Structure 1
Amino acid sequence: MKIDILASGSKGNVIALTSGQTTILVDVGIAKTKIEKRLLEVGIRPDHVKAIFITHAHKDHIQGLPIANKYRIPVYVGTEEWKSVKTKVDIDLMYNMNDKRVVDIEGLFTIKAFKTHHDALESYGYVVEAEGHKCSICLDTGHVDTSMIKAMYGSDTYIIEANHEPNMVEVSEYLPSTQARILSHIGHLSNEQTAAALSKLIRGKGEQIYLTHLSTKNNLPALAEMTVKRALTKQSFKAGTHYEIEVI
């Protein structure tokens, strides 16, 4: 399974997963034309996208949904998020997604959702399996609970947010209400929270970690990476030997 992270962060999120000539997208948070361009840049034809899975209906995850209408791509989204999506997608392309449903795409992909904790009506992460490879995608969430760990456990690839450093949020120019939202249990993961989750997930079998959705104002790529590496060192795991890590 080929994985391409086409966009990451508060300005937009798009992840492409490809098996053979078939691609699925998790989130489409940048403009339709930009998605088309970035797909072509990594060798993917937009008309080879066979499904779109939405984590939640905030703008940085759904801005490019009109691409579904253009290429007649089915869109899977939590039922409670429909009202934020239905103005962008033809109703006949929309499908309910929940944490009990398993979706098969052309016999190549198996996709299952798991509940996350964000200030949206029905937010999800996704576990995608293809070609014997398991990839877990955990974006906006205020914390990681045991059911999320159970869903993601045993993955070969982890795409997980490392959004902020709490001390930087607290001294930021953001309004107190915005700071409280980010730091809340339905906000975003801090570097330490991400590191703690990965400490429960990584088994040292050569897993690939992608740290994503970093705040440009309240985090530093080197800090996010160092925090995760330090936590995994305590588990006797060394980057480059037991796992690989990249900050997007």
Structure 2
Amino acid sequence: MMRMTVLASGSKGNSTVIASSRTRVLVDAGLSCRELLKRMAVAGEDPARLDAILVTHEHQDHIAGLAVLARRLKIPVFFTEPTHRAWVRMLTPRSTMTYAKWLDHVQREKEARATAIAASTSTAGLATQLAAQSEAIASVSAEAAALNRSDDPNATLELPIDPDEEELCGPEPDSAAAQKAEQKADPTHLPAVEYFHSGTQFSIGDIEITPFTIPHDAADPCGFVFEAEGIRMALATDLGYMPPNVKAALKRIDVLLLESNHDLEMLRDGPYPWSVKQRVLSRVGHLSNHATAEFLQKDYDGGAAWIVLGHLSESNNAPELARLSAEQALGNQPTLLGNRILLAGQAVPLDPITL
């Protein structure tokens, strides 16, 4: 027996439980600890039975509740080493800023500098303003490099460290005050960290896990194939295109969670800033409905009993468009019509899929 339970999927948070009869793994923790516990309860998953948390990459919509949940449940977290390093850097306490606010901040600075330079009446004054402008540009560039990317312009880009989050998640029955203070002082504290390498199979309990590299703008992003008791499940979201290694990894899969992020026309006409649109459309961005349909029509082997379309944009996609696109792709190959299509959403867990 294997079971996949998608707790949340989208730019505001991602998390999925993969379970066998003996082992339970949480893939990503992109919601608050409190919300993750709530959704597991709704879906019938017991948090106390989780054996580990597995991280695809360090973007906030995949790790927002990671540290607090791992500490709360006292379970290990599995990363690639570059992803762990990036996560540690990102958890340095900083002020919260959204991508949209940052763009507004940059525009305000440009306007202020232009006004100051125009008002300058001397060569010395102009030189001073130009020096200040160069310094400000360097500061903005450094700030931009530190931002945690998201395809949602209103998503928080730098992870705020909330000292009250663990209290919201619930008290730890046996935690000492000194240990709790130490953990708050170090937001990167985890009960245990385990490293894996993309392309190298490893096991958690009786689940064999094969990570594969995906093209996304993160330190070392991965998708996964999970196998136990003769069942194979795969998770592939947050990728800009379908390279050969991903197509090969998604063969002989029984349950496939696959990204179908945006409708191309809705994205191009939608509310995102042009810079965010460019990122989403890039080869390290997100799969469109069209790209996913193209994979299903040309490269998919048809083996899955269930295809779950995930990471749908709330601003630039519609569930009916994603479903129609996939159904049309499969409909062009009559032998694949038996595949059942589900859509994972942002607001509520998907009913568990058990084989």
Contact 1:165 1:219 in 2 (8 A): yes
Listed as ranges, the gaps of 5+ residues in structure 1 are: none
Q: Deviations over 1:17-72 (max 9, x none)?
A: 11125310111100011111111222222121111111110110001112111212
Q: Does 1:233 align with 2:235?
A: no
- Write 1 or 2 for the structure with the bigger share of helix: 2
Q: Does 1:183 align with 2:281?
A: yes
Partner of 1:174: 272
In our comparison, the structure showing a higher alpha carbon Rg is 2
Partner of 2:51, secondary structure, is strand
Query: For residues 221 and 146 of structure 1, what CA distance do their matches in structure 2 show?
Result: 27
Q: Deviations over 1:73-125 (max 9, x none)?
A: 1111122122343345435511222213322122x201110000111111100
Query: For residues 336 and 199 of structure 2, what CA distance do their matches in structure 1 show?
Result: 36
Q: Does 1:138 align with 2:236?
A: yes
- Deviation for aligned residue 1:166: 1.2
Contact 2:198 2:213 in 1 (8 A): yes
Counterpart mapping for 1:203-214 below 5 A = 203-205=301-303, 207-214=305-312
Query: For residues 217 and 129 of structure 1, what CA distance do their matches in structure 2 show?
Result: 34
Contact 1:69 1:89 in 2 (8 A): no
> RMSD between aligned alpha carbons?
1.6
Contact 2:257 2:309 in 1 (8 A): yes
Contact 1:39 1:46 in 2 (8 A): yes
- For 2:75, give the aligned amino acid: I
- Deviation for aligned residue 1:185: 0.5
Counterpart mapping for 1:1-248 below 5 A = 1-65=2-66, 66-86=68-88, 87=91, 88-90=187-189, 93-106=192-205, 108-200=206-298, 202-205=300-303, 207-237=305-335, 239=337, 242-248=338-344
Contact 2:70 2:190 in 1 (8 A): no
Closer/same/farther in 2, CA of residues 91 and 37 from structure 1, 3 Å limit:
closer
Aligned sequence identity (%): 33
Contact 1:99 1:113 in 2 (8 A): yes
Listed as ranges, the gaps of 5+ residues in structure 2 are: 92-186, 345-355
- Write 1 or 2 for the structure with the bigger share of strand: 1
Contact 2:271 2:315 in 1 (8 A): no
Query: For residues 113 and 22 of structure 1, what CA distance do their matches in structure 2 show?
Result: 18
Closer/same/farther in 2, CA of residues 202 and 243 from structure 1, 3 Å limit:
farther
Of 97-106 and 66-75, more deviation after overlay is shown by 97-106
Query: For residues 158 and 167 of structure 1, what CA distance do their matches in structure 2 show?
Result: 26
Closer/same/farther in 2, CA of residues 127 and 200 from structure 1, 3 Å limit:
farther
Contact 1:7 1:15 in 2 (8 A): yes
Partner of 1:28, secondary structure, is coil
Of 230-239 and 84-93, more deviation after overlay is shown by 84-93
TM-score for the superposition, normalised by structure 2: 0.66
TM-score for the superposition, normalised by structure 1: 0.93
Query: For residues 46 and 20 of structure 2, what CA distance do their matches in structure 1 show?
Result: 13
Query: For residues 278 and 249 of structure 2, what CA distance do their matches in structure 1 show?
Result: 28
Query: For residues 175 and 15 of structure 1, what CA distance do their matches in structure 2 show?
Result: 30
Contact 2:240 2:285 in 1 (8 A): yes
Partner of 1:219, secondary structure, is coil
Contact 1:153 1:201 in 2 (8 A): no
Contact 1:154 1:201 in 2 (8 A): no
Partner of 1:181, secondary structure, is helix
